[in-house]
Structure 1
Amino acid sequence: MKTKLYMFIMGVFSIILTFSQVGINTTEPHESSVLHLNSSDKGFLLPYFNITDLNLKSPVISPTIAEGLLAYNTNTTTGKGIYYWDGTKWSGLGQVNFTNIYNSVIKPLNAVLNDMDTFPYLINAMVAPSSPGLRRFDCDYSALGDDIIINNPLSGAPNNFVIWDNVNKKINVPQQLLGYSITVNISLKYQQTTSNSEASRFVAYTGNAVVNTSTGNYTGGRKIKDLMFKKTKTSSFPYVRDELVLSPIVVTQEIIDHGIILYIGSGDNSPLNFYEPVLTIDYGVVNITL
Structure 2
Amino acid sequence: MKPAPFEYVRPDSLAEACDLLIGDEDARIIAGGQTLIPMLAMRLARPTRLVDILRIGELRGIRIERDAIVIGAVTRQVEVERSETVQRTLPLLTKALPWVGHPPTRNRGTVGGSIANADPSAEIPLVAVTLGAEIEIESSSGRMAMTADEFFIGPMLTSVMPGDCVCAVRFPIWAYRWVGTAFHEVSARQSDFAFVAAAAQVAIDGDGKCAEAALGLGGVGDRAVRVEVSTLVGAKPTASAISDVVRAAIRDLEASSDLHATAAYRQRVAAALGIRALEDAFAEARGPREARR
What range is the shorter-chain TM-score in?
under 0.3
**Taking structure 2 as the reference length, what is the TM-score of the superposition?**
0.25
**Taking structure 1 as the reference length, what is the TM-score of the superposition?**
0.25
Larger Rg: 1
Which one has a larger percent strand, Structure 1 or Structure 2? 1
User: Relative contact order, CA 8 A, sep 6+: which one is greater?
Assistant: 1
